[in-house]
Structure formats: structure tokens, C-alpha cells
Amino acid sequence: MLEMPIRRVILIAALALSMAGCSLPTTHFETPKVSLINLALQNVNMKSQEFLLDLRVENPNQYGLDISGVDADLALEGRGVAHGQTRQRLHIPAAGTAKVQVSITTHLLDSLGSILQAATKQKAAYSVSGSVDIIGKLGIPFRYDGELDLSKLSRQRW
């Protein structure tokens, strides 16, 4: 006889707790926006070229996010020519922004075909793509497409 009221109390308590959980405010995740700030050639030698990629990550959420790293690829005329990554950890405040830098390297022998193909044109299409890794979330993909004016590069002194 006493067993039935205990079951009923446990059932009512469990139901009350589950309903209380449903009434708590839930935190909605909005995807951060990733944009390319700058792509700069840092170092050139006979074997490789090193670029520095500057990205801006905007956090639209009402809570801070922690970045655990970035993976990035550079393509020239549709062909992948460079890859880089950083495991730099950053905190982006709620409704704030952060700048992330990634060093990407291309090896001359691997990318020679793409470079020669681009060299025959006045302009060359490029893309920078990858993902920003947010702790506790999946990677946030990004892609930026642009065009290099090769006539300006040829006049530049190295």
C-alpha cells in the first residue's frame, strides 16, 4: 500500500523536473561570419612561397565563443596550390569580432602547372577556403573568391 504513493511521488517529481527543463531559456547558436581581410605574400624562395591569410570572425551570439584553430586552402585557377593551419586559440566575445592569422605555404613543384597557367593571363581567379574550429561546435566553413590582377604583380619589385 505504501509502495504506490512512493511511485506516484517519484513520477510526479520526475514529470515536474522535466517540465521545468522545458521552460528554461534555450541558447540558440548563430553561425559566425568569416571574411577575408587580407592575403599577403610573405616569403618567396626557389622551393616555396609563404602567404599570410588574415581572417575576421564575427560572433553574432549573445555569448562568447572559443576558436581552437583554422584550416585554410588557397586555389589558383581552380587548382589547390597551398594549405595551412593554425591551432591558435582565441576567445571571441559576445557580439564581437576577432582577427585570425594563418600561414599557408605552396611548394613550387606542386603548384607549377597552376602558376604557369595563370601567368598566361592578365587576371587569375583565386579562392581561399577552409574552416574555423569552434570549441564545442563543428567547423564553420568559409570561402572567399577573388581575382588577382597579374599585370600589377609583374610591375611590382620583389
Q: Which helix H or strand E contains 11, and what residues bound it?
A: helix 3-23
pLDDT recorded at residue 38: 87
pLDDT recorded at residue 135: 85
pLDDT recorded at residue 108: 74
Phi and psi of 107, rounded to 5°? -105, 130
Average pLDDT over residues 115-132: 81
Average pLDDT over residues 83-110: 91
For the chain, the domains span: 33-155
Q: Tell me how many degrees the CA angle 37-42-46 measures, rounded to the nearest 5.
A: 140
pLDDT recorded at residue 154: 46
* Three-state SS at 30: coil
User: Class for domain 33-155, per CATH?
Assistant: mainly beta
Global confidence as pTM: 0.68
Encoded amino acid at 30, one letter: E
For 18-76, the pLDDT digits (tens) are 554 444 445 788 989 888 888 888 888 888 888 898 999 999 999 999 999 999 998 88
Encoded amino acid at 61, one letter: N
pLDDT recorded at residue 7: 62
Average pLDDT of the chain, as a whole number: 80
> Distance (Å, rounded) from C-alpha 132 to C-alpha 107?
24
Residue 156 clears pLDDT 50, i.e. is over it: no
pLDDT recorded at residue 61: 94
C-alpha radius of gyration, the chain, whole number: 25
